[in-house]
A = this chain, B = another copy of it.
Amino acid sequence: MAKQERSIRTRRKILEAAASVFEEHGYGAAKLSAVLERAEVTKGALYFHFTSKEELAYAVLDAQTEFPVRRVQRCRLQEFVDIGLLFAHRLSTDVLLRGSVRLTLDRGSGELDRSGPYRGWIELNHQVLKEAQEHGEVLPHVDVEETARIVVGGYAGINLMTQITGGLEDLEAMAGAFYRHVLPGVAAPGVLGTLDMAPDRGARLLAAGPERSTGGEPAPPG
């Protein structure tokens, strides 16, 4: 395989190994020697891609909002709900995502700035909610920027609580219940009844085919 392709694969292998070490031990206790062992790469290869544990952690954190997260729907509020339901489903299969989430769900001690993913998710949710508002799908009094913050923070807590009290397998059910609790205060009456917030929605979306990245072209009018 070509040199560049090999380099991309090695980088990915290191990132996934680091994510699994972060998931298990958290940032503070994670050791680069464990990453080397799991990735089965040399120290030289690791330092070629990442100069420190900190740089590795930021790359893992970035991965959380880099994967394609939007699936265009005629109804923007459905798209808003889909972001969280798809994420809950992905978490069960994607080790890089799990390691990234683990870093985000520790409060840490100031040694790592964990605010990036929160800001990224708030921005994305805010954008989709603004489109929903333009389409007349949102109740008149709703402050969509506030709603974006409440949903991102609340979702993170649902995730944290299921990890601490139950298992990750609860997340899809809990995420569905979370949206069913929040949407009555957000959605216009005619829209609320049309929303699919079932726990298996994420799995069905993923099975249905390709996605569109947030970095892509603007969504077509609904």
By a CB distance below 8 angstroms, the chain B residues around A154 are 153-155, 157-158, 178, 181
Are A29 and B28 in touch, CB under 8 angstroms?
yes
Count the copies.
Answer: 2
With A and B bound together, what is the CA distance between A206 and B28 in angstroms? 38
Total number of A residues with any Cβ neighbor in B under 8 Å:
45
From A162, which residue of chain B is reached at the shortest CB distance? Answer: B153
By a CB distance below 8 angstroms, the chain B residues around A159 are 157
Contact segment of A9-17, A37-45, A78-86, A183-191 = A183-191
**A8 on the interface (CB 8 Å rule)?**
no
From A185, which residue of chain B is reached at the shortest CB distance? Answer: B184
By a CB distance below 8 angstroms, the chain B residues around A160 are 105, 107, 153, 156-157, 160
Are A153 and B157 in touch, CB under 8 angstroms?
yes
**A152 on the interface (CB 8 Å rule)?**
yes
Are B152 and A161 in touch, CB under 8 angstroms?
yes
Closest Cβ of chain B: how far from A23's Cβ, in Å?
A: 9
By a CB distance below 8 angstroms, the chain B residues around A118 are 161, 164-165
By a CB distance below 8 angstroms, the chain B residues around A108 are 26, 164
**A135 on the interface (CB 8 Å rule)?**
no
By a CB distance below 8 angstroms, the chain B residues around A184 are 184-185
Are B102 and A164 in touch, CB under 8 angstroms?
no
**A24 on the interface (CB 8 Å rule)?**
yes
**Which one of B106, B158, B180, B183 lies within 8 Å of A107 (CB-CB)?**
B106
- A:135-178 near B, CB below 8 Å: 146-147, 149-165, 174, 177-178
1/0 per residue A3-35: CB within 8 Å of B? 000000000000000000000111011000000
By a CB distance below 8 angstroms, the chain B residues around A180 are 185
**A204 on the interface (CB 8 Å rule)?**
no
Are A29 and B185 in touch, CB under 8 angstroms?
no
**Which one of B109, B157, B165, B181 lies within 8 Å of A158 (CB-CB)?**
B157
With A and B bound together, what is the CA distance between A106 and B146 in angstroms? 25
Closest Cβ of chain B: how far from A15's Cβ, in Å?
A: 20
